[in-house]
Amino acid sequence: MVVGTVVALVAAYLFQLVAGRVLGPTALAPITVLWTIQFLVFTTVFMPMEQLTVRRLSLDVPHAAPWTLYLSVIGASILGSVAFAAVTLDQLFEGEALYLAIVAALIAGYGVFALGRGYLAGRRRFREYGFSTFAESVLRLVLAVILLAAGVGALGLGWTLVAGPLVVFLWRPFRGERRREAGAEREQRTVSTLATFVTANAASQTILAAGPLVVGGLGASPADVSVFFQTFLLFRSPLTLAYNLISRVLPPFTRLVEEGDLGSVRRWALRLAVGTAGLSAAGYAAGGAVGPAFVELLLGAEFRPTGGLAAYAAGGVVLATMALFVQQMLIAMRATGRLAAAWLTGLLVATLLIVATDGDVSLRVGRAFLAGEATAFAGLVAAVVTFRNGR
């Protein structure tokens, strides 16, 4: 599982490196928007489905899957994403209507991919989980190299994003699953849990991944949008790695909660809080010192960010990564309401900081990212430590 995640991470960055060098920052802009939409929908909506599936299957007697709910969520995500793409077609997609079909297929594919991985992890098929994770990224890279060598542009490259998630079917994640619906009472509880979970992830991923869209919306040039996107993409590598590992740590936390050992969970939260404070400070300093040169080395001088932007990205990503592990404790506790409160507070702080400050657009958004992550992380730790008997 770890090896597969690392390979997937490397392949994802090679995809961006190859595409960026061949197309350049301006031509690459539609791909960065597609990537951002997919990332936001996947982490906001589909990861909660994946993690709740893992939690459900980790129980001694897992209940039936709420298939109607899952399919409705995927369908609504497709409609919402296509609607956004249609409204911003001229501004973000060069007025090319075929991008609407790419967006629809992209979201549908990753919805199934998330459910498939949830079944693999929930049934402790961690090796297959790792294989599916790296195969998705490697297939996308291979197709991109072939198509770019053939001279296709951003539109053709967009279809490589669609192909990747389909590899999950190679491991038949749903085999043995009977088409059973959960009881009405249990499905209603699942709807409530998923709703608050999605709210939490919507706030957290808006802080984390909406930056390129905000920078572009505030009037930055396409080149500046690409620089912001590539900088944060490179610095998000620890977080990308963590996304594919949290399904491994959720079952142990679930068992601790089910056994009533909340003390152990709280101690883990406090340990993570202390370690994260030091790591985030170190990341901020290192990002400002060597981050611009690192980005330039990988992507070229035209993608070089300022030291301030690199520092904000590095320090904030450390907080976002460690927050993901604290979040698993609240998921295990089914305390998704507390989860939502922490992330909504962080989003509010980030939004106020953008509105209340002026100056360079990229730096304003980067600074807000760091402040929002710090606020949310503190709220998550407090939520775990103060949790008592299902409240």
What's the confidence (pLDDT) of residue 62?
A: 57
**For 276-286, b where at least 16 C-beta lie within 10 A, e where not — what string?**
bbebbeebbeb
pLDDT tens column, 52-103:
888 778 765 555 667 778 888 899 999 999 999 999 888 888 888 899 999 9
pLDDT tens column, 180-237:
555 555 555 667 778 888 888 889 888 987 888 788 888 888 888 888 988 988 888 7
Contact 292, 307 (CB under 8 A): yes
The residue extents of the domains of the chain are 1-182, 214-391
Query: What's the pTM value of the predicted model, to 2 decimals?
Result: 0.73
Of 32 and 372, the structure prediction assigns the larger pLDDT to 372
Of 343 and 243, the structure prediction assigns the larger pLDDT to 343
Q: Which residues contact 132 (CB under 8 A, 6 or more apart)?
A: 4, 113, 116, 117, 120, 167, 168, 170, 171, 173
